[in-house]
Amino acid sequence: MLSPKLLTNGMNDLSENKSKRSEIAKVILGCIAAAGVIAIPVAGPLILMAIAEELNIPKWHRRKVYLSLRNLEQRKLIGISKEDGKTVVRLTKNGQNKFLKYKLEELHIKKPAKWDKLWRAVIFDIPEKYKQGRESMRAKLRELGFYRLQKSVWVYPYACEDEIDFISELYEVRPFVRIMLVKSIDIQKDLIKQFGL
C-alpha cells in the first residue's frame, strides 16, 4: 500500500482550477515510480477504480484519477497485467521517460542561507554523435542559472552534484561530464556580482 503522504503532497494543491488531467497524470506517474510496482488482488472492469483506491486518493478526486489512469494506459505510459493472480501496475519505458521529463521540468537547485565560497565547475567534452544530449545539457544549465565561462565550461556557486548527475544521466552523456570544486577563479569578483553573493 502506498503511503498517503506520497499522493497527498502532490494532490493537496489540486484545486478545481488546477486539477487538469496532466497534473493528475504527473502525480500518478510519480506514485507508481515511487512504488515501483503496484499489485492489487482485483481484476475485471473495476481495476482502475481499485488502483485509484490503492493510491489513497481522496474520493472527490477518484473520478478524475480513473479517467487519467485510463488515458495513461491508452497512451502506453502504464502497463496493467495479471501476475500470480494479482493485477500489476507499473510504468512502461515510455512512462518512465515521461516521469523523468516531469522531474527534469521541476528540477531546481536549493540555495543555502550562506555560500561556502566554493565554485562548482561543470565541464564536458561530449562527442558529436551525442550532439542532441550536449545541446540539451547546455540549455538546462542555462535555465538553472549557471554562468558560462566557455562553450563547455559552466560555473555555479552552490552544491549541484546530484542535479548534474541526474541531468547528464537523463541525456545519456554522464561519461563525458566532470564536476570540479574550485576555490578561486580569476574573474571571481565578476561571478560574485553575477550571482549576487
The answer to whether residue 179 scores a pLDDT higher than 70 is yes
Cα 97–Cα 52–Cα 20 angle in degrees, nearest 5: 60
Domain residues for the domain of 14 are 4-104
Question: What cell does 7 get?
Answer: 499522493
Final residue belonging to a domain, choices 104, 134, 167: 104
Label residue 45 by pLDDT band (50, 70, 90). Answer: low
139 neighbors 179 (Cβ within 8 angstroms): no
Based on the fold, state whether residues 161 and 78 are members of the same structural domain: no
Q: What is the pLDDT of residue 46?
A: 63
**Is residue 53 in a domain?**
yes
Per-residue model confidence as pLDDT tens digits over 62-93: 677 778 888 888 888 888 777 777 778 888 88
Label residue 14 by pLDDT band (50, 70, 90). Answer: very low
The CATH number of the domain where 9 resides is what? 1.10.10.10
From start to end of 31-118, where are the E strands?
38-40, 78-83, 86-91
Per-residue model confidence as pLDDT tens digits over 48-65: 667 777 766 666 566 777
Over residues 4-24, mean pLDDT: 51
Q: What is the pLDDT of residue 18?
A: 43
Average pLDDT score over the chain:
79
